Amino acid sequence: MFDRLFGWEYTLLEPNNFWQCVPDAVKHIYHFFNVPITSHVTDPHSPLRHIKATAREEDFVSFKLDVDTSSVEIPLVLELVASSELMRLVDEFFFELHFRCEIMRHCGWGDKMPESMDWLRLDRMNTLLLFSDMRHKGIRAHIWP
């Protein structure tokens, strides 16, 4: 069982409908923010800020990132990898990374993806190298598609 759950949703939800869908067993530990996340670790709506503020190294921290906005997602991932503190805190990472490949082109992303963001080239080889690096540093990192 989890001690805490944090969730963000950009789309405005009707609160009563949302909370009716949350199982009673987790309502007391669920922290829900109906605002978009941000990529700046110092911003109040950054999931990385919440991880730093609440997690301890002995905790099991699972982080799923899927907001379909590479301009937010990629900086978050790069901040995670660059921070030794966050790398010690996050145990497992799940990420739907949109990168330039044939699968994403056929899923409607086409050429919407930039070739690179910051220092990360968004092609298959470099994204797999990034996740391999995360695994070597101790995070069980999972990527799809």
CA angle 36-117-6, nearest 5°?
30
- H helices of 55-101, in order, are 70-82, 84-89
Walk along the chain (145 residues) and give the pLDDT tens digit of each residue. Answer: 789 999 999 999 999 999 999 999 999 999 999 999 999 999 999 999 999 999 999 999 999 999 888 889 889 999 999 999 999 999 999 998 776 666 666 666 666 666 666 777 777 788 889 999 999 999 999 987 7
Cβ-based neighbours of 131, under 8 Å, separated by 6 or more: 141, 142, 143
Query: What count of Cα atoms within 13 Å lies in the side-chain half-sphere of residue 76?
Result: 28
- Report the alpha-carbon distance of residue 23 to residue 94 in Å, rounded: 22
Cβ-based neighbours of 135, under 8 Å, separated by 6 or more: 141
From 76, 19, 78, select the one nearest 51 (Cα to Cα): 76
Q: What is the pLDDT of residues 87-101, one digit of tens each?
A: 999 999 999 877 666
What's this model's pTM, rounded to 2 decimal places?
0.84
Three-state DSSP at 8 gives: strand
CA dihedral in degrees (71, 109, 122, 60; nearest 10)? 70
Question: Of all residues in the chain, what percent are helix, strand and coil, respectively (each to 5)?
Answer: 40, 20, 40
Q: Would you state the pLDDT for residue 117?
A: 67
